[in-house]
């Protein structure tokens, strides 16, 4: 393993993770304390609103953690996953994988901060088409989703290219 290359990749992951975490927490603070105080529905442009939603579960509200034991279980699971991803990030020499892992880690930590601070995750981005509304989400959720998409694409294209060599 090339230590210099690994350190560079690790740094990329940390930088992008901190960027997502910072953007996530700043936007949530702004929405919760300034924009949605009191909570309301704000049309931004056609097919996009700002709303205030509190997700006590995981994706789409699955596994509601209204009770404190369930809330701490979700926090614990998320922190175990973050630890595993940090180990993967440390071992990675790929800048693409490091970028993806960093933004996933930043997003996961952002949502953990919400669970600890608010008891739920603040969701406020509401996209829709006609009567179909995608569940509200936040910057952390977007980071997690984009990071996973990058990992999947990397495994199909770059990963398959490496296997040919």
Q: pLDDT at position 160, please?
A: 57
pLDDT for residue 64: 67
Number of structural domains (the chain) is 1
Q: HSE, CB side, 13 Å, CA atoms: give it for residue 118.
A: 19
- Put simply, whether the predicted model's pTM sits higher than 0.75 gets the answer yes
Instruction: Give the range of the structural domain holding residue 7, as residue numbers without chain letter.
Output: 3-164
Higher pLDDT: 59 or 37? It is 37
Q: Catalogue the active-site residues.
A: 123, 141
Task: Indicate the SS3 state at residue 34.
Answer: helix
Q: Are 150 and 142 in contact (CB under 8 A)?
A: no
**DSSP reduced 3-state for 133:** strand
Summarize the confidence of residues 37-55 as an average pLDDT.
93
**Is 93 buried (19+), middle (13-18) or exposed (0-12) by CB count in 10 A?**
middle
């Amino acid at each position: 393993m090339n230590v210099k290359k690994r350190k560079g990749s690790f740094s990329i992951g940390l930088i992008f993770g901190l960027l997502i975490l910072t953007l996530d927490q700043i936007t949530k603070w702004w929405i919760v304390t300034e924009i949605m105080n009191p909570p309301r529905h704000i049309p931004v442009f056609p097919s996009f609103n700002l709303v205030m939603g509190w997700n006590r579960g995981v994706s789409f509200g699955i596994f509601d953690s209204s009770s404190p034991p369930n809330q701490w279980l979700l926090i614990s699971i998320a922190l175990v996953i973050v630890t595993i991803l940090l180990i993967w990030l440390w071992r990675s020499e790929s800048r693409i994988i490091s970028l993806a892992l960093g933004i996933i880690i930043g997003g996961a930590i952002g949502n953990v901060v919400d669970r600890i601070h608010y008891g739920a995750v603040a969701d406020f981005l509401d996209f829709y088409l006609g009567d179909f509304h995608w569940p509200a989400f936040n910057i952390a959720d977007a980071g997690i989703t984009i990071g996973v998409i990058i990992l999947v694409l990397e495994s199909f294209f770059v990963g398959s290219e490496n296997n040919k060599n």
